[in-house]
Structure 1
Amino acid sequence: MSDSPRRRGRPRSTDADAAILDATRRVLAEVGWDGLTMAEVAARAGVAKTTLYRRWPSKHELVVDAVAALFAGLALPDLGSLRADLEEVVARFAALLARPEAQASLYALFAEGTRDATLRARIREAVIAPMKSLVHQGRAAAQERGELPPDGSRAAAAAEADLIYDAIAGTVEHRVLVTGEPADPAWIRRFTSLLLLPLGAG
């Protein structure tokens, strides 16, 4: 059996990938979705266009991965309590959304996603699903500490985790991207308190 296309040729360079994704976000921040071209991204990243197209055959794929790479840096803290973990996650998320390149990338994806169901599916897969996994991890850690009751069923646990993610992502994105108000420590504490009430965290 012949080698798969992924195994043939030179191995992918993680440095080149990082440079391309960073260039994508910078170009988006400067010229927006319509102004972004694969040629400009390649030039900014210092790679050949053929190198770029081998990795990302379309602008959609490229921008989704550029956004996913930003959020990949988010991790679940282990600060000893559900409240402390939630406050830290919200603070990190808000700080990430405040970055100009993150805002430009998300605005572009939101706008294009309303017109393209395939793009929305890619966003859910590459950006949203990994972030939802943090909620599942946080719930499991809180249950081990006895702060949350055990799951009644797998389906109920998944539904609750989805709601928690929607509440965090929707509220923080509205605060930072829509109203432009600061997600300062006092606001984060109030928001976390609201989240914890229906969860019955002890």
Structure 2
Amino acid sequence: MKEDLHEATVAVLADVGWDGLTLERVADKAGRSRVTLWRNGVTRESLLDGLLKRLAADYRDAMLPVLTAGGDPAERLRKTMNALCDVVDAHADVLTLSDEMFHRAAATADLPMRFLDPFVAVLRDARAAGRLLGKGTDLDRADILFNAVAWTYLHLRARHAWTPAKARTHLLPMLIEGTVR
């Protein structure tokens, strides 16, 4: 998706939400005509597809460094959570549309990893080091951590207007301290 269409789509979503997203509104925001977009094969669904592919690509780019990093499990978990928060901040307008957006992005994009892989890797290493707290499979615990970070952070940012620093300062230590020692 071209940058101007991406920005226009995000702006329209911020203004009127998914139900109000129309080709005409996006065209107006982008300074183009609806007919031109339509002739180029742009649809409401292709706009969402473009947003989802960008979400997946940004997630990949944020997570690959932490996925391949070594070191202390608690510090790696903190970095993984912060990277997820960065992605949530960058895509808040899309993520507030539905709690299915990460699932839809995973289905749309061709990623070299699954969305939970960075969390599974940290948990696996914490378990091997004898530092993992609690019970459950690494995959189930990764799913819980991913969702606890992504959706709680988004809610605190979007609905309570917390700053990134405040949301991360209060949320992440609680989750880390309950996961690794």
Classify the TM-score, shorter chain: 0.5 to 0.7
Q: 1:170 to 1:140 in 2, by over 3 A?
A: same
Consecutive unaligned residues of structure 1, counting only runs of 5 or more, are 1-15, 114-119
Aligned match of 1:175 in 156, 165, 168? 156
Q: Equivalent residue for 1:106?
A: 95
Contact 1:25 1:104 in 2 (8 A): yes
Contact 2:123 2:138 in 1 (8 A): no
Aligned match of 1:82 in 73, 87, 91? 73
C-alpha deviation, 1:172, in angstroms? 0.8
State the structure with more CA Rg: 1
Consecutive unaligned residues of structure 2, counting only runs of 5 or more, are none
Contact 1:90 1:172 in 2 (8 A): no
CA distance in 1, matches of 2:21, 2:145: 34
- In structure 2, give the amino acid aligned to 1:124: H
Contact 2:89 2:154 in 1 (8 A): no
C-alpha deviation, 1:179, in angstroms? 1.4
CA distance in 2, matches of 1:69, 1:33: 17
Q: 1:176 to 1:127 in 2, by over 3 A?
A: farther
Describe the SS at the equivalent of 1:85. helix
Q: Equivalent residue for 2:8?
A: 23
Identity of matched residues, %: 19
Q: 1:147 to 1:65 in 2, by over 3 A?
A: farther
Q: 1:34 to 1:136 in 2, by over 3 A?
A: closer
Contact 2:6 2:47 in 1 (8 A): yes
Aligned match of 1:157 in 125, 134, 138? 138
Q: Equivalent residue for 1:6?
A: none
Q: Is the counterpart of residue 48 in structure 1 residue 48 in structure 2?
A: no
C-alpha deviation, 1:143, in angstroms? 3.2
Q: Equivalent residue for 1:125?
A: 104
C-alpha deviation, 1:161, in angstroms? 1.7
CA distance in 2, matches of 1:98, 1:126: 16
Describe the SS at the equivalent of 1:72. helix
- In structure 1, give the amino acid aligned to 2:58: G
CA distance in 2, matches of 1:182, 1:161: 25
CA distance in 2, matches of 1:39, 1:167: 36
Aligned match of 1:188 in 152, 168, 171? 168
Q: 1:89 to 1:180 in 2, by over 3 A?
A: farther
Contact 2:6 2:51 in 1 (8 A): yes
Contact 2:74 2:176 in 1 (8 A): yes
- In structure 2, give the amino acid aligned to 1:164: L
C-alpha deviation, 1:69, in angstroms? 1.3
Cα deviation code 1:32-82 (max 9, x no counterpart): 3344322443461756322233xxx4x245325414513531322237333
- In structure 1, give the amino acid aligned to 2:7: D
RMSD value, Cα: 3.8
TM-score by length of 1: 0.59
C-alpha deviation, 1:196, in angstroms? 2.7
